[in-house]
Amino acid sequence: MNAAEPQGRRPRHLTAGRIGIYAFLITAALFFMLPLWIMVVTSLKPMEEIRLGNILALPAAMTFEAWTKAWSSACTGLECNGISVGFWNSVRILIPSVILSIIAGAINGYALSFWRVRGANVMFGILLLGAFIPYQVFLYPLVRIFSLTGIYNSLTCIVLVHVIFGLPTMTLLFRNYYAGLPIELFKAARIDGGGFWTIFLRVILPMSTPILVVATILQVTGIWNDFIFGLTFAGRENLPMTVQLNNIVNSTQGERAYNVDMAATMLAALVPLVVYFVSGRWFVRGIAAGAVKG
């Protein structure tokens, strides 16, 4: 009897090595899911249950009390209005910052890759350098500059800071994307009589959808998660959610309300989380494209 002649689809075998790989992957996935699991179950437990110390156990009496408390009545220092104040502050910071920084980055990237701006390479080099210098270096000088101009501790101030610090990454992102577009398209538009703005708005921008999505993802998550700029520049009235969260977690009278802390943390992480889940494949491209961002 001959062995079967190879024909058609190659048969797949489940080898011991393959089982080992899957076992390892599943264990690793469970391990990394553990903190999230603990956060979710803890936030759904009343304090009596938490005191028992079974941190992995499912809640016996499930309650959303901690979530409502975290949202509307947890204490951030002296005031007890919950994290919702910070949420709306963050939204007010986020929207203008994201829009303005993307516009600035897109125009910069367009000018640098299509127009022969004198000293374009030097400019780009300086911008790139800006992406690698730690933010902390700029904090004190910026505080001085802003208080001199009188806009320190305001919404304008924090938005301006986000736009400035978003510039290197956004410019890099858009420049690299535009460098991949055929230069002949730009030449054709110039022969057709388009000027700087017409070509940008009518020809280049309509082709920029993928990179606009990537830029939005990067900026939304980056600015939402920002702590130090918000703390330094936003002023007491505009403190973003991240700063409020820190205040809730760190200002405790008496017993530490773990369930509220967990709920507040998850509320603060909600926006980036939604962005991750909704944007899916775009997000991966964003990470690849923005590989320089720390």
Partner 1 sequence: MSTVSVRDVTVAFEAVQVFDGLSLDIDEGEFIVLLGPSGCGKSTLLNAIAGLLDVADGQIWINGKNVTWEEPKDRGIAMVFQSYALYPRMSVRENMSFGLKMAKTPKPEIEKRVNRAAELLQITPLLDRRPDQLSGGQRQRVAIGRALVRDAAVFLFDEPLSNLDAKLRNELRVEIKRLHARLGKTTMVYVTHDQIEAMTLADRIVVMKEQKIQQIGSPDEIYHRPANLFVAGFVGSPQMNFIMGRIENTGEGLSFLAGDRRLSLSGYQFATAPSAGQEVVLGVRPEHLEITGTGIWPGFTVDIVEPMGADTVIWCSDGLGSLQVRTTGSRKASPGESLTLQVDSTQVSLFAADTGERL
CB of 118 vs partner 1, minimal distance in Å: 12
Contact 274, 153 (CB under 8 A): no
Residue number, 192 or 237, with CB nearest to partner 1: 192
Residues that bind partner 1 (CB under 8 A): 116, 182, 184-185, 187-194, 198, 202-203, 206-207
* Distance of closest approach, residue 188 Cβ to partner 1, in angstroms: 4
Judge contact between 39 and 267, C-beta under 8 A.
no
Closest CB to partner 1 among residues 9, 116: 116
For helices 281-289 and 258-279, give the axis angle rounded to 10 degrees.
Answer: 90
- Residue of 265, 284, 275 whose CA lies nearest to 98: 275
Residue 179 CB, shortest distance to partner 1, in Å, is 15
What is the enclosing helix (H) or strand (E) of 86?
helix 84-114
Cα atoms found within 13 Å of the Cα of residue 268, Cβ hemisphere only = 27
CB 267 within 8 A of CB 64: no
In the complex, the smallest distance separating the C-beta of residue 101 from partner 1, rounded to whole angstroms, is: 24
Of residues 39 and 199, the one with the C-beta less far from partner 1: 199
Nearer to partner 1, 64 or 197 (CB): 197
Minimum gap (Å) between residue 202 Cβ and partner 1: 8
- CB 211, min distance to partner 1, A: 14
Closer residue to partner 1 in complex, CB, 144/187:
187
Which lies closer to partner 1 via its Cβ, residue 11 or residue 195?
195
Whose Cβ is closer to partner 1: residue 22's or residue 197's? 197
Shortest Å, Cβ 108 to partner 1: 22
Q: Is 216 exposed, middle or buried (0-12, 13-18, 19+ CB in 10 A)?
A: middle
Question: In Å, how far are 137, 208, 218, 230, 231 from 94, measured between CA atoms?
Answer: 23, 21, 12, 11, 15
Question: 222: closest CA among 263, 171, 260, 170?
Answer: 170
Which token pair is 196?
């700087």
